A and B are shown apart, each in its own frame.
Chain A
Amino acid sequence: QVQLVQSGAEVKKPGASVKVSCKASGYTFTSHYIHWVRQAPGQGLEWVGIINPSGGDTGYAQILQDRVTMTRDSSTSTVYMELSSLRSEDTAVYFCARDIVVTAAHNSAALDYWGQGTLVTVSS
């Protein structure tokens, strides 16, 4: 069965960086885009970005594009989301999610499988 398993909770100081992992299983890793979505405590959902595990190409939310980097390791079927220069406003649960659409086609926002979420807390 399809599973996305994320790394554990992180506590970081302002200005630091965090790298969250998302390990995929149960399907061909390179066949589906992976998105990252975050949710601050008590707030709504916010799209962070997308990675194509096949070619490694990425797309980021404009407000984060200077600080976020998404990478993948095909040998371990894992994607990573790194966020730098952390601020208190980055405190949120970060989810990875699989796009229904295969990487041979244009991506979508139809996310059928989600990771369990990783809480990133930024506090001095």
Chain B
Amino acid sequence: QSVLTQPPSASGTPGQRVTISCSGSSSNIGDNFVYWYQQLPGTAPKLLIYRSNQRPSGVPDRFSASRSGTSASLAISGLRSEDEADYYCVTWDDSLSGYVFGTGTKVTVL
């Protein structure tokens, strides 16, 4: 069981905005950067966000993220069919002295 909790699923229609939460504690999100990944079926994860709110080059600005206290969130605006995937948050945990992934959220485009 992960120390980072995400909702199992989220959905929206094309063009809508979807938000995914990642809940942690003071030993992880509260004190460290958060990263977000997108994983399409059968493929390796793709980095979407680093240092809590920075996008690598090539990631559309439809993807944005924030961190507040012991929680973080990823927002997808202007939802598109190709956004249908699993999304994971990850951060360092001071107590575990290692990185921890969130439980993952499956996004469905209706």
Q: Residues of A at under 8 Å CB distance from B?
A: 35, 37, 44-47, 49-50, 59-62, 95, 97, 100, 108-112, 114-117
Q: Is the CB of A44 within 8 A of B104?
A: yes
Contact of A62 among B2, B33, B86, B96 (CB under 8 A): B96
Q: Is the CB of A59 within 8 A of B97?
A: yes
Q: Is the CB of A116 within 8 A of B47?
A: no
Tell me how far the C-beta of A118 lies from the nearest C-beta in chain B, rounded to whole angstroms. Answer: 11
Residues of chain A lying within 8 A (CB to CB) of residue B103: 44
| Chain B, 56-97, CB within 8 A of any chain A CB | 56, 86, 88, 90-92, 96-97
Q: What are some 9 contacts across the A-B interface (CB < 8 A)? A: A44-B86, A45-B37, A45-B101, A47-B101, A49-B98, A100-B56, A110-B50, A110-B56, A112-B47
Tell me how far the C-beta of B103 lies from the nearest C-beta in chain A, rounded to whole angstroms. Answer: 6
| Given A47-B98, A47-B99, A62-B97: A115 touches B44 (CB 8 Å cut-off) | yes
Q: Is the interface of B mostly helix, strand, loop or mixed?
A: strand
| Given A108-B33, A108-B35: A45 touches B88 (CB 8 Å cut-off) | yes
Q: Compute how far the CA of A97 lies from the CA of B84 in the bound complex, rounded to whole angstroms.
A: 23
